[in-house]
Amino acid sequence: MVRYVYAFTEGGRDMAGLLGGKGANLAEMTRMDLPVPAGFTVTTEACRTFLTTGDEPDGLAREIATHLTALEEAAGRRLGQADDPLLLSVRSGARFSMPGMMETILDIGLNDDSVLGLAKVSGSERFAWDSYRRLVQMFGSTVMGVDSALFEDAMARLKDARGARDDLGLDAPDLAQLVETYKELIRRETGESFPRSPAEQLRRAVLAVFASWNGARAHLYRRREHIPDDLGTAVNVQTMVFGNLGPDSGSGVAFTRDPATGRTGLYGDYLSHAQGEDVVAGIRNTVPLTDLEHLDPASYTQLQEHMRTLETHYRDLCDIEFTIERGRLWMLQTRVGKRTAAAAFAIAAELADEGLITPDEVLARVSGEGLARLMFPRFDTSAVGEALAHGLPASPGAAVGAAVFDSAEAVRRAAAGQKVVLVRQETTPDDLPGMVAAQAVLTSRGGKTSHAAVVARGMGKVCVCGAEEITVDPQGRRFTVGDTTVEEGTVISVDGSEGAVHPGAAPLVDSAVMRYFETGTVSGGLVEAVARAMRRADAVRRLGVRANADTPEDAARARRFGAEGIGLCRTEHMFLGDRRQLVEAMILARTDAERRRALDALLPLQRQDFVGILEAMDGLPVTIRLLDPPLHEFLPDRTELAVRLAAAQAQGTPPAAHDAELLDAVNRMHEENPMLGLRGVRLGLVAPGLVAMQVRAIAEAVVARRRAGGDPRAEIMVPLIDTVEELRLVREEVERVLGEVSQESGVPVTCPVGTMIELPRAALTAGRIAEEARFFSFGTNDLTQTTWGFSRDDVEAEFFSAYLDKGIFKVSPLETIDRDGVGRLVEIAVAEGRTARPDLKIGVCGEHGGDPESVHFFHAAGLDYVSCSPFRVPVARLEAGRAAL
Ligand code: PEP
Ligand code: MG
């Protein structure tokens, strides 16, 4: 037999799935002998049955009646008894806290008769009528569906008529009149009367709370918090205690520590002569909890004791709701309280000091996401006003600067010492210098894996992308949002953590945690707490953590942040800037000799890059990936070039010979789907001399570092392979060049050759590929793109939001690894790769390598390391530690 109702004396905190968080904790407090008003909980299972069938579950009414009788017997009075009514509250309580999202109905059991009895036994007519009008109001709006504003208007009109400032200005006859007005309102709006029968009130209240699970507010909240839609809510039915009985009564909320900073000591608010709902509704001004010490010293002392008991019992920050009824303290709710990221670290460290939790529990209670938030400067939230526009929070942090609309202007102004924000419709590799120069990047198009987002995250630069409300006008050097125009040079503030743009310079607060990672300086309790958690994570984690870095500066920073090598050095970034000319010359070369010359000119530049990176990562592995993107990305834009040529023709001036040649090359190389075209290993196999030049640069850099007394550990990685044959051909070429350089220099150079696994075919044939590869690195950006069949550059802003709305995915698979699909390919490749080569080293270097949830997956999948942007390295270390718990 299914059981739908549990008395508080029967439950416990480990029953949150069935009794909801609130019900489980009320039961726990009851067991702990804390003063909890008696009651019972209707299970989430009853709710689920109601939601699927649309009917009250069979037997529920009987179970409720039995528990009600027990309550009545213990109290010595019946629900709604005319001369001395037992009154009940009915509150929602889901498995995961959804504050204020569902319904509450208080004072169940009052009607035209029992209100008089309540007045008599309480000795306060005003209190009785105030309670009654609360019931009619809550029942009318929640259960009967009357617009709550109508009740509020009626109350406001009466207060005006009486000249009352707040609800305390209304006396008993006023409130009695208000009850009549409310009842009339209900009749008018619903055609039904407010039910007099206490049993019917209770029954309908319980069902209304069930139904509120599917209310629009609750639905939206669950979507945002990733709470499943099918859990349902429990309903708690509890004997009423009254904070509105007079000045010696009241209600409050309290925390066992400060949830903002983690500091010890009681924090909270108290409102005398009020019910709990009034405290949060802000109808009158609350006082700090510490004032209770003077208002009611006995209750205050008791409260302190109970909170200490709770914190020791739960071994964590607790928040509570309480009511004092004529000097008697009642505990109405407790739970492990929500807290800021800073408080999470500080509290965990203190509880460990107090011996309440172990170092591993400290790790379990903090998070990489929280750490990421603490690493960036942020805007002083108390000082920023309404946002100008919103976009996607693509790269966290806060930055202030003058808006500029192209890369060159960003570079020019930055060189003159000005802080700038680069505003583009979307960015391309051409914008790189401007992005480097800017404090932040703002785009009106593109998702969280658009060029702007990926590159900005890599550089630890603030980025808001896909801010669709803004219209960027690069020619006019301005952007507009509705009626507001922001001209070039106007200062704006970009909040990459929240995805918001503010006008003007919002005040900034610096990050001590970032200073710690940059310099090792431990200043203050928060940083000490973070450092402790990091030490523990490093001690327990199995996964290595490397960085994606392509410059010596990034490599050095990554090392300071704790990276144990480079998992991905993208060599394409070294083909930009001044070197573009040389790349162009290589592409346009008509003879072998011309191509050779261009490659020879690129060689020393590449070598120099590698020397710098190998030096910064001396003694640690540096995985260098051969050129990946299609060559035409290094040529000018096709349309721009065609327009330039046409304009020259129209003006009768002869077009630059170079331009015509370029357009020819661009046309020749044009691809409809460049992401699926001549890139990665394919490029290396058809562009003569390219692989040899890159490998030579790497090998000569290794020789140079060895001669300088260093310990260079370069690894060569081949991108985008489909089949083992591709890898075999490239590996043979690599070995040949390494042999040549060894011979020429007299320094033996060996570099392990491995491959990226970023196409489904590669994952599915990993066993064969492992015969030629010393290591695998999953390129989960491309692997996600090709497994799902969508373009990582285009989709996010467009259909992803619709997909998220429809619940097709809970989070973008480009952000968090899709375990079922892409994850399965990873598992297959790991298993087959290791069978073929047991010592195969396996890592991941897609964006997922720095995503907390994905790190847990990679740990479970048995990878050796994750690689992510330098700024995510501490996050990955922490999460790798948490994954190992
Ligand atoms: C990937 O595809 O996951 C990867 C790391 O390579 P890129 O992002 O450079 O394509
Ligand atoms: Mg890739």
How far is ligand 1, taken at its centre, from the CA of residue 562, in Å?
22
Cα-flanking dihedrals φ and ψ of residue 781, to 5°? Answer: -65, -55
Closest ligand to residue 548's CA: 1
Instruction: Return the ligand 1 atom nearest residue 572 CA.
Output: 9
Q: Which atom of ligand 1 is found nearest the CA of 454?
A: 8
Q: Is 736 annotated as a binding residue?
A: no
321 belongs to an annotated ligand binding site = no
Q: Read off the pLDDT of each residue in 603-621 and give the average, rounded to a whole number.
A: 97
Contacts of 435 (CB under 8 A, 6+ apart): 407, 410, 422, 427, 441, 452, 455, 456, 459, 461
Distance 639 CA to ligand 1 centre (A): 27
Measure Cα distances from 139 to 114, 200, 706 in Å: 17, 12, 80
Q: 642-646 — which CB contacts under 8 Å span 24+ positions?
A: none
The pTM of the full predicted model, rounded to 2 decimals, is 0.81
pLDDT at 658 over 90: no
Distance CA 231, CA 234 (A): 9
Least confident of 88-102, 453-467, 497-511, 603-617: 453-467
In the predicted structure, residue 264 carries a pLDDT above the cut 90: no
Cα dihedral value 237, 241, 242, 248, nearest 10? -160
Rounded distance from Cα 785 to ligand 2 centre (Å)? 9
Spell out the domains of the chain, with CATH numbers in brackets. Answer: 46-55+67-239 (1.20.80.30), 250-336 (3.30.470.20), 377-510 (3.50.30.10), 541-630+671-883 (3.20.20.60)
User: Catalytic: which of 306, 390, 451, 856?
Assistant: 451
Is 780 marked within a binding site?
A: yes
Report the distance separating Cα 89 and Cα 276, nearest Å.
11
Q: Tell me what percent of the residues of the chain surpass a pLDDT of 70.
A: 98
Alpha carbon nearest to ligand 1 atom 6, residue: 779
CA–CA distance, 109 with 78 (Å, rounded to integer) = 9
> Span 299-308, mean pLDDT?
96
What's CA 299's distance to the chain center, in Å?
Answer: 40
DSSP 710: -
Q: Say what percent of the chain tops pLDDT 90.
A: 72
| Mean pLDDT calculated for residue range 816-832 | 98
Residue 451 annotated to the active site: yes
Ranked by mean pLDDT, which of 213-227, 290-304, 807-821 comes out on top?
A: 290-304
Confidence of residue 445 (pLDDT cuts 50, 70, 90): confident
Distance (Å, rounded) from C-alpha 673 to C-alpha 549? 27
In this prediction, residue 720 carries a pLDDT of 97
Instruction: Give the ligand with the smallest distance to the CA of 625.
Output: 1
Q: Whose CA is nearest to atom 9 of ligand 1?
A: 570
Average pLDDT over residues 33-41: 98
243 is in an annotated binding site: no
Question: Which atom of ligand 1 approaches the CA of 778 most closely?
Answer: 3
778 alpha carbon, closest ligand: 1
Protein residue with its CA nearest to atom 4 in ligand 1: 779
- How far away, in angstroms, is 372 Cα from ligand 2 center? 25
The residue that leads in pLDDT, 332 or 496, is: 332
Give the pLDDT confidence of 402-430 residue by residue, as tens digits.
999 999 999 999 999 999 999 999 888 77
ipTM over 0.95 threshold: yes
Contacts of 571 (CB under 8 A, 6+ apart): 550, 606, 624, 625, 626, 627, 628, 694
**Residue 657: phi, psi to the nearest 5?**
-55, -40
How far, in Å, CA of 316 to CA of 677, rounded? 55
Whether the Cβ atoms of residue 477 and residue 458 lie closer than 8 Å to each other: no
Q: Alpha carbon 354 to chain centroid distance?
A: 31
**What are the tens digits of pLDDT across the range 159-186?**
999 988 877 889 999 999 999 999 999 9
Residue 519 marked ligand-binding: no
The pLDDT value recorded for residue 280 is 61
**Residues 324/270, Cβ–Cβ less than 8 Å:** no
Ligand 1 centre to CA of 379 (Å) is 32
Closest approach atom of ligand 1 to CA 845: 5
Q: Map residue 868 onto helix, strand or coil.
A: strand
How far apart are alpha carbons 289 and 253 in whole angstroms?
A: 8
Around ligand 1, the residues with Cβ closer than 6 Å are 568, 570, 628, 758, 779-782, 845-846
Counting Cβ atoms within 10 Å, is residue 297 exposed (0-12), middle (13-18) or buried (19+)?
Answer: exposed
CA of 720 to the centre of ligand 2 (A): 7
Please name every residue paired with 682 in a beta bridge, in sequence order, or none if there are none. none
Q: Using 50, 70 and 90 to split pLDDT, how confident is the model at 654? A: confident
Q: Whose atoms come closest to the Cα of 846: which ligand?
A: 1
Q: CA Rg, the chain, in Å? A: 33
Confirm or deny that 787 is annotated as ligand binding.
Answer: no
Number of H-type helices and E-type strands within the chain: 36, 31
Q: What is the pLDDT averaged over residues 588-614? A: 93
Phi, psi for 42 (deg, rounded to 5):
-90, 130
Does the annotation mark 463 as catalytic? no
What's phi and psi for 444, nearest 5 deg?
Answer: -95, -10
Check pLDDT > 70 for residue 281. Answer: no
Confidence of residue 283 (pLDDT cuts 50, 70, 90): low
pLDDT at 725 over 90: yes
Give the dihedral of Cα atoms 482, 483, 486, 490; nearest 10 deg. -120
Q: Which of 628, 679, 826, 865 has most ligand 1 atoms within 8 Å of CB, for mutation?
A: 628
For 585, residues 6+ apart whose C-beta sits below 8 A from its C-beta are 594, 597, 598, 601
Q: What's the pLDDT score for residue 644?
A: 83
Compute the average pLDDT of residues 767-783: 98
Closest by CA position to 105, among listed 212, 24, 189, 230:
212
Q: φ and ψ at 866, to 5 degrees?
A: -115, 150
Which residue among the candidates 47, 463, 751, 845 is catalytic per the annotation?
845
Q: Is the pLDDT of residue 665 over 90?
A: no
Mean per-residue pLDDT over the chain, rounded = 92
Q: How far is CA 12 from each of CA 25, 26, 239, 335, rounded to the nearest angstrom? A: 7, 8, 19, 12
Which residues neighbour 504 within 8 Å (Cβ) at sequence distance 6 or greater? 491, 492, 493
Residue to substitute in 573, 683, 758, 818 for testing ligand 1 pocket (most ligand atoms within 8 angstroms of CB): 758
Pocket residue to mutate for ligand 1, from 782, 785, 790, 793, most atoms within 8 A of Cβ: 782
Asked if the model's pLDDT at residue 852 lies above 60, the reply is: yes
> Using an 8 Å Cβ cutoff, are 815 and 395 in contact?
no
- C-alpha count within 13 angstroms, C-beta hemisphere, residue 628: 21
pLDDT at 797 exceeding the cut of 70: no
Per-residue pLDDT of 431-441, as tens digits, reads 888 998 999 99
- Say how many Å lie between the first and final Cα of the chain, rounded: 38
Residue 354's contacts (CB-CB under 8 Å, 6 or more residues apart) are: none
